Structure 1
Amino acid sequence: MAEENHQTTPPEEAQPTQPLPRPYGVPSLNNNTEKLEWPELVGLTAEEAESKIKQETTGVRVHVVPPNSFVTMELRQDRVRLYVDADGKVARAPKIG
Protein backbone atom coordinates (compact mmCIF):
# COMPACT_ATOMS: atom_id res chain seq x y z
CA MET A 1 0.00 0.00 0.00
CA ALA A 2 1.17 3.41 -0.82
CA GLU A 3 1.86 5.59 2.12
CA GLU A 4 -0.36 8.57 2.24
CA ASN A 5 1.45 11.75 3.00
CA HIS A 6 -0.73 13.53 5.50
CA GLN A 7 0.52 16.86 6.64
CA THR A 8 -0.92 18.06 9.84
CA THR A 9 -1.05 21.69 10.61
CA PRO A 10 0.05 22.65 14.09
CA PRO A 11 -2.61 24.22 16.25
CA GLU A 12 -2.66 27.97 16.05
CA GLU A 13 -0.65 29.42 18.83
CA ALA A 14 -1.81 32.53 20.53
CA GLN A 15 -0.11 35.42 18.82
CA PRO A 16 0.79 38.42 20.95
CA THR A 17 -1.62 41.21 20.25
CA GLN A 18 -0.12 44.36 18.83
CA PRO A 19 -1.83 47.72 19.15
CA LEU A 20 -3.64 48.77 16.03
CA PRO A 21 -2.03 51.63 14.14
CA ARG A 22 -3.55 55.03 14.83
CA PRO A 23 -5.14 56.63 11.77
CA TYR A 24 -3.30 59.63 10.38
CA GLY A 25 -4.61 62.93 11.63
CA VAL A 26 -6.18 61.62 14.83
CA PRO A 27 -4.52 62.83 17.99
CA SER A 28 -3.74 60.16 20.55
CA LEU A 29 -5.28 60.75 23.94
CA ASN A 30 -3.06 58.47 26.06
CA ASN A 31 -5.28 59.07 29.10
CA ASN A 32 -4.65 62.77 28.65
CA THR A 33 -7.40 64.89 30.13
CA GLU A 34 -6.37 68.05 28.33
CA LYS A 35 -8.66 69.50 25.71
CA LEU A 36 -8.14 68.95 21.99
CA GLU A 37 -10.60 71.55 20.68
CA TRP A 38 -12.03 74.91 21.81
CA PRO A 39 -15.31 75.74 20.02
CA GLU A 40 -16.22 78.20 22.79
CA LEU A 41 -13.41 80.54 21.65
CA VAL A 42 -15.02 81.45 18.32
CA GLY A 43 -15.67 85.19 18.31
CA LEU A 44 -13.00 86.10 20.88
CA THR A 45 -9.90 88.07 19.95
CA ALA A 46 -6.76 86.10 19.14
CA GLU A 47 -5.08 87.34 22.32
CA GLU A 48 -7.98 86.23 24.54
CA ALA A 49 -8.18 82.84 22.82
CA GLU A 50 -4.43 82.27 23.09
CA SER A 51 -4.49 83.10 26.78
CA LYS A 52 -7.34 80.63 27.47
CA ILE A 53 -5.69 77.85 25.46
CA LYS A 54 -2.40 78.27 27.31
CA GLN A 55 -4.23 78.23 30.67
CA GLU A 56 -6.01 74.95 29.82
CA THR A 57 -3.27 73.08 27.92
CA THR A 58 0.42 72.73 28.60
CA GLY A 59 3.16 72.45 26.02
CA VAL A 60 1.38 73.86 22.97
CA ARG A 61 2.38 76.68 20.70
CA VAL A 62 -0.41 78.91 19.41
CA HIS A 63 -0.17 80.17 15.83
CA VAL A 64 -2.42 82.99 14.66
CA VAL A 65 -3.41 82.54 11.01
CA PRO A 66 -4.66 85.70 9.26
CA PRO A 67 -7.41 85.50 6.62
CA ASN A 68 -6.40 84.10 3.20
CA SER A 69 -3.10 82.74 4.52
CA PHE A 70 -1.54 79.46 3.47
CA VAL A 71 -0.63 76.85 6.07
CA THR A 72 1.21 73.55 5.90
CA MET A 73 -0.75 70.31 6.24
CA GLU A 74 1.40 68.37 8.71
CA LEU A 75 -0.13 67.29 11.99
CA ARG A 76 1.64 68.55 15.10
CA GLN A 77 0.56 67.57 18.59
CA ASP A 78 2.17 70.69 20.04
CA ARG A 79 0.39 73.27 17.89
CA VAL A 80 -2.95 75.05 17.94
CA ARG A 81 -3.86 77.30 15.03
CA LEU A 82 -6.12 80.29 15.54
CA TYR A 83 -7.80 81.17 12.27
CA VAL A 84 -8.87 84.79 12.59
CA ASP A 85 -11.07 87.05 10.46
CA ALA A 86 -10.27 90.58 9.25
CA ASP A 87 -11.25 91.97 12.68
CA GLY A 88 -8.75 89.72 14.48
CA LYS A 89 -11.46 87.51 16.01
CA VAL A 90 -11.33 83.72 16.00
CA ALA A 91 -13.32 82.54 12.94
CA ARG A 92 -13.39 78.77 13.56
CA ALA A 93 -12.87 76.41 16.46
CA PRO A 94 -9.17 76.08 17.34
CA LYS A 95 -7.90 72.53 17.72
CA ILE A 96 -4.69 70.60 18.30
CA GLY A 97 -2.90 69.74 15.11
Structure 2
Amino acid sequence: MQMKAFAVSTRIVFFSLLVFSLVMAEENQQKEVPQEPSHRLMAHQGLVSGGVDAGAGSRRVALDTAPKREWPEVVGLTVEEAKKKIKEDMPMARFQVVLPNCFVTMDFDLGRVRLYVDSSNKVARPPRTG
Protein backbone atom coordinates (compact mmCIF):
# COMPACT_ATOMS: atom_id res chain seq x y z
CA MET A 1 0.00 0.00 0.00
CA GLN A 2 2.82 2.39 0.88
CA MET A 3 4.53 1.60 -2.42
CA LYS A 4 1.37 2.55 -4.34
CA ALA A 5 1.06 5.85 -2.47
CA PHE A 6 4.73 6.59 -3.18
CA ALA A 7 4.25 5.84 -6.90
CA VAL A 8 1.18 8.11 -7.07
CA SER A 9 2.92 10.98 -5.26
CA THR A 10 5.98 10.56 -7.52
CA ARG A 11 3.75 10.84 -10.59
CA ILE A 12 2.08 13.97 -9.21
CA VAL A 13 5.46 15.59 -8.59
CA PHE A 14 6.69 14.57 -12.05
CA PHE A 15 3.62 15.98 -13.82
CA SER A 16 3.75 19.17 -11.74
CA LEU A 17 7.39 19.71 -12.75
CA LEU A 18 6.54 18.94 -16.37
CA VAL A 19 3.70 21.50 -16.43
CA PHE A 20 5.87 24.07 -14.67
CA SER A 21 8.74 23.61 -17.14
CA LEU A 22 6.36 23.89 -20.11
CA VAL A 23 4.87 27.11 -18.75
CA MET A 24 8.33 28.57 -18.12
CA ALA A 25 9.50 27.56 -21.60
CA GLU A 26 6.49 29.28 -23.15
CA GLU A 27 7.11 32.45 -21.12
CA ASN A 28 10.77 32.48 -22.16
CA GLN A 29 9.80 32.19 -25.81
CA GLN A 30 7.43 35.15 -25.46
CA LYS A 31 10.07 37.30 -23.77
CA GLU A 32 12.65 38.98 -25.90
CA VAL A 33 16.10 38.91 -24.35
CA PRO A 34 17.20 42.54 -24.00
CA GLN A 35 20.32 43.31 -25.94
CA GLU A 36 22.51 46.33 -25.33
CA PRO A 37 21.60 48.40 -28.40
CA SER A 38 24.28 50.08 -30.42
CA HIS A 39 24.63 53.85 -30.20
CA ARG A 40 23.52 54.10 -33.85
CA LEU A 41 20.25 52.30 -33.05
CA MET A 42 19.77 54.27 -29.84
CA ALA A 43 20.37 57.55 -31.69
CA HIS A 44 17.87 56.48 -34.36
CA GLN A 45 15.24 55.75 -31.71
CA GLY A 46 15.87 59.02 -29.90
CA LEU A 47 17.35 57.28 -26.86
CA VAL A 48 20.68 59.10 -27.05
CA SER A 49 20.92 62.80 -26.46
CA GLY A 50 23.61 64.54 -28.43
CA GLY A 51 23.95 61.77 -31.03
CA VAL A 52 24.86 63.07 -34.48
CA ASP A 53 25.01 60.97 -37.62
CA ALA A 54 28.13 61.84 -39.59
CA GLY A 55 26.37 61.41 -42.93
CA ALA A 56 24.58 58.92 -45.13
CA GLY A 57 27.78 57.33 -46.48
CA SER A 58 29.52 57.17 -43.13
CA ARG A 59 29.18 54.38 -40.59
CA ARG A 60 30.50 56.43 -37.68
CA VAL A 61 28.35 58.12 -35.10
CA ALA A 62 29.83 60.96 -33.12
CA LEU A 63 28.49 61.32 -29.61
CA ASP A 64 29.36 64.47 -27.78
CA THR A 65 27.69 63.25 -24.59
CA ALA A 66 26.79 59.90 -23.09
CA PRO A 67 23.09 59.16 -22.98
CA LYS A 68 21.43 60.45 -19.85
CA ARG A 69 20.14 57.56 -17.77
CA GLU A 70 19.14 59.22 -14.48
CA TRP A 71 17.28 62.42 -13.55
CA PRO A 72 17.84 63.40 -9.89
CA GLU A 73 16.66 66.94 -10.63
CA VAL A 74 13.01 65.82 -10.95
CA VAL A 75 12.71 64.51 -7.38
CA GLY A 76 9.88 66.45 -5.73
CA LEU A 77 8.14 67.32 -9.02
CA THR A 78 4.74 65.99 -10.01
CA VAL A 79 4.56 63.07 -12.43
CA GLU A 80 3.53 65.31 -15.34
CA GLU A 81 6.34 67.81 -14.69
CA ALA A 82 8.88 64.98 -14.41
CA LYS A 83 7.68 63.37 -17.66
CA LYS A 84 7.99 66.68 -19.48
CA LYS A 85 11.54 67.23 -18.17
CA ILE A 86 12.67 63.70 -19.01
CA LYS A 87 11.12 63.87 -22.51
CA GLU A 88 13.47 66.80 -23.24
CA ASP A 89 16.45 64.45 -22.82
CA MET A 90 14.84 61.22 -24.00
CA PRO A 91 11.94 61.87 -26.41
CA MET A 92 11.10 58.19 -26.96
CA ALA A 93 10.90 57.32 -23.24
CA ARG A 94 8.08 55.13 -22.01
CA PHE A 95 7.06 55.82 -18.42
CA GLN A 96 5.95 53.50 -15.67
CA VAL A 97 4.60 55.17 -12.55
CA VAL A 98 5.30 53.07 -9.45
CA LEU A 99 3.12 53.75 -6.42
CA PRO A 100 4.43 53.41 -2.85
CA ASN A 101 4.97 49.82 -1.65
CA CYS A 102 4.38 48.32 -5.12
CA PHE A 103 6.46 45.62 -6.73
CA VAL A 104 8.18 45.95 -10.10
CA THR A 105 9.56 43.34 -12.47
CA MET A 106 13.31 42.77 -12.72
CA ASP A 107 13.49 43.00 -16.52
CA PHE A 108 15.75 45.64 -18.06
CA ASP A 109 14.42 48.02 -20.72
CA LEU A 110 16.51 50.99 -21.91
CA GLY A 111 13.41 52.70 -23.28
CA ARG A 112 11.55 52.63 -19.96
CA VAL A 113 11.81 55.16 -17.15
CA ARG A 114 10.22 54.26 -13.83
CA LEU A 115 8.85 57.12 -11.77
CA TYR A 116 8.63 56.14 -8.10
CA VAL A 117 6.07 58.41 -6.47
CA ASP A 118 5.00 59.11 -2.91
CA SER A 119 1.45 59.36 -1.57
CA SER A 120 1.13 62.97 -2.84
CA ASN A 121 1.98 61.86 -6.43
CA LYS A 122 5.40 63.53 -6.41
CA VAL A 123 8.57 61.81 -7.57
CA ALA A 124 10.19 60.26 -4.49
CA ARG A 125 13.53 59.02 -5.88
CA PRO A 126 15.64 59.73 -8.96
CA PRO A 127 14.09 58.13 -12.06
CA ARG A 128 16.40 56.12 -14.30
CA THR A 129 16.23 53.99 -17.42
CA GLY A 130 16.00 50.27 -17.11
- Which digits, 9 at most, give the CA deviation of each residue in 1:4-59, with x for residues without a partner? xxxxxxxxxxxxxxxxxxxxxxx778446431100011000111001111121132
- Listed as ranges, the gaps of 5+ residues in structure 2 are 1-35, 40-62
Query: Is 1:62 the equivalent of 2:95?
Result: yes
How well do the aligned residues superpose, as a CA RMSD in angstroms? 1.9
The structure whose Rg is larger is 1
Question: 1:43: which partner in 2?
Answer: 76
Number of paired residues?
71
Give the alignment's TM-score, normalised by structure 2: 0.50
| Identity over aligned pairs, percent | 52
> How far apart, in 1, do the equivalents of 2:74 and 2:88 lie?
13
> How far apart, in 1, do the equivalents of 2:111 and 2:69 lie?
11
Q: Secondary structure at the match of 1:90?
A: coil
- Listed as ranges, the gaps of 5+ residues in structure 1 are 1-26
Give the alignment's TM-score, normalised by structure 1: 0.65
Higher relative CO (Cα under 8 Å, sequence separation at least 6) belongs to 1
